[in-house]
Each structure stands twice: as structure tokens, then as C-alpha cells.
Amino acid sequence: MSIPDESSPWHYPVLLKETLEYLAIRPDGVYVDMTAGLGGHLGAIAERLMNGMAIGCDRDAESLEIAKRNTAAYGERIRFHHGAFSTLDQALAANGVAEVDGMVADLGVSRYQLASAERGFSLMVDGPLDMRMNRGETETAADLVNFLPEKALADLIYQLGDERRSRRIARAIVRGRPIHTTGRLAQVIEQAVPRTSKIHPATQAFMALRLQVNQELVELEQLLRNGPERLKSGGRFVVLTFMSTEDRIVKQAFQSLARAHRATILTKHVVRPSETEVKENPASRSAKLRCLERN
């Protein structure tokens, strides 16, 4: 499989201009990109630094290696850390940092991951039913699909995928076991709940499985608790979401900090991509940006 670089259509950092504006980058500041991905936001931050530092974190080791290559021009301005949101303190400590001037987290799944069939994220390309962002973890989507009791599977798809047809889908999955590939799972779900729109009927179920495999909402809630505490006074925290569930969690966490007078919300209304950006990168259409500043 070819590995994308900065010229690749995979490499399109969402809401980049807006992210940089809200971070208000200082040349001598310290910034953390919690989702380094292929290095889009990270490289743009590093480009604006002189004697500052950018720390790029990601739980996907393969993406992190690509980010290192794509941002090699910035040399020692960037340090890298392999780990999930819950390892923020370790990333800072490893670089001798206690507080930072800014932090960004882009919660979207990268198109590199989606287009890599062997990673098992997408229902559009057939591959093993994996979905692990960190392939060092043990539990895969296949484990959930093949071994969860029917009720537990239905609850998972309903709660994390906001899928009202979860019971019918879970019943079909259990009857169709064993299921080991993304293509087969998509087929089983489509037979149980036929397509009624352009959106594939397995979309929400796939999302729920991915969220569970990677404990994404648990990690997000931990970042929203810990991240603001690691900001200097006046430091800014930018979060990009693509799902209503995640955006709601971010919104409520920011509001709680504002009510406690610990931070000021800088985005009274969510920031969305321009028509031009959506036209150039359709995957950005559901993106929402929120930003707060530490008091």
C-alpha cells in the first residue's frame, strides 16, 4: 500500500485557517496537537514557531510515522509522542513541559485510515474487521461482532451509533456469525435494514463499533478534564468534532468550565467550514470547531 504525503488528497487538514487563528500562535510558545494524524495541523503550527515547540501525539503509530516524514522540515521544533488522549501528562513530562500555550484535537478519522482496507475502518473497502487505531491493543471490532450477546450488541449500536434499528441489526449479526470482514458485516446489515437513502444502512453501526473498540468517548472526556488544566493563563484549546455525540460532550465540558470562571468560550457559535472548503474536501462538511481560553 502506498503511503500518502503532503501532496496527497488524503492530506487535507480540516478548518486549518480557523484553527490557526483561534490558537493565536506565539513564535516562542509550546503547542500540542493531540491528533497529529498525517501532520497537517502540526506542520502548520510548527511553521509559525521560531524558538517554540510543537508536540505531536497520536495513538496510531503508522500515522505518526507519516507525520514525522511530512513535517521533517521543521526538525527540532516538533517532538512526537505515541499515545492516546489519556497519556497527555506523559507526553508533556517527556518533553520537560508543565503547561502549554495551546492545544488542538481533531476528532475525525483520517482518510488514510479509512482508505486502508487492512485497518478495517470503512464499509466501502473490504478488509479484516479490525478498527483499532492503536494496533497494539487487543480487542477488535470482530471480537465485539462475534462474541457480544445480542442485547449488549444492540445496546452498543443504539447508544454509541444513535441507531434506532439496533435490535434488528444485532439480531441479523448474531444470525450471520461468524463475521470477519467489513464487507460481510455491511452486507449482513444492509440485508436486515435495506437502504432508504444515500447513506449506507451500516454507517451508524460501524461508527458505534469504532467508538467502542477505541474507547473514544472515554478518552475524549479524559482529555476535556485534563487538557484545560495543562493550559497556561491565556492558553487556548481548539477541538474539531464530526459527530453530534462528540460535539455535545465538548460543548457541555466547555460550558462547565465557563460557568466555573476557569475559562472563556471564544466560539459563541460553532465554526463550520466554508463552502469553498467543503467543495474541495467534502469530508469536512460535518466539521465543527469550538475554542476556549484559560482564565
Q: What is the pLDDT of residues 161-214, one digit of tens each?
A: 999 999 999 999 999 999 999 999 999 999 999 888 888 999 999 999 999 999
Q: What percent of the chain has pLDDT over 70?
A: 96
Provide CB contacts within 8 A for 238, sequence distance 6+: 19, 22, 23, 102, 103, 104, 105, 289, 290, 291
Alpha-carbon radius of gyration of the chain: 19
Residue 112's pLDDT is: 77
Q: Looking at the DSSP assignment, which residues form a beta bridge with residue 271?
A: 289
Q: Is the pLDDT of residue 38 over 80?
A: yes
Residue 172's pLDDT is: 98
Closest CA to 56 of 95, 27, 112, 19: 95
| Cell numbers linked to 22 | 483561534
Q: Tens digits of per-residue pLDDT, 93-133?
A: 999 999 999 999 999 887 778 888 999 999 988 999 999 99
Is the Cβ–Cβ distance between 247 and 255 less than 8 Å? no
Structural class in CATH, domain 138-213: mainly alpha
Q: How far is CA 86 from CA 49, 63, 66, 221, 222, in A?
A: 26, 18, 22, 9, 6
Provide CB contacts within 8 A for 43, sequence distance 6+: 6, 70, 71, 73, 74
Residue 153's pLDDT is: 98
Quick one: 65 exposed, middle or buried, by C-beta within 10 A (0-12, 13-18, 19+)?
middle
Is the Cβ–Cβ distance between 13 and 112 less than 8 Å? no
Closest CA to 113 of 3, 223, 242, 239: 3
What average pLDDT score do residues 75-101 get? 97
The three-state secondary structure class of 270 is coil
Q: Is the pLDDT of residue 291 over 50?
A: yes
Quick one: 216 exposed, middle or buried, by C-beta within 10 A (0-12, 13-18, 19+)?
buried
pTM comes to 0.92
Q: Tens digits of per-residue pLDDT, 23-35?
A: 999 999 999 999 9
**For the chain, first and last CA: distance in Å?**
47
Query: What is d(CA 241, CA 236) in angstroms, rounded to the nearest whole number?
Result: 16
Q: Is the pLDDT of residue 1 over 50?
A: no
Q: Looking at the DSSP assignment, which residues form a beta bridge with residue 264?
A: 293
Quick one: 254 exposed, middle or buried, by C-beta within 10 A (0-12, 13-18, 19+)?
buried
Provide CB contacts within 8 A for 86, sequence distance 6+: 219, 222, 223, 226
Write down the H helix ranges in the chain. 16-23, 40-47, 61-70, 88-94, 111-115, 141-147, 150-161, 166-176, 182-192, 203-213, 216-226, 244-259, 275-280
pLDDT, averaged across the chain: 94
| Cell numbers linked to 243 | 459527530
Residue 212's pLDDT is: 98
Q: What is the CATH code for 16-112+217-294?
A: 3.40.50.150
Query: What is d(CA 169, CA 204) in angstroms, rounded to the nearest whole number?
Result: 11
Domain spans, the chain:
16-112+217-294, 138-213
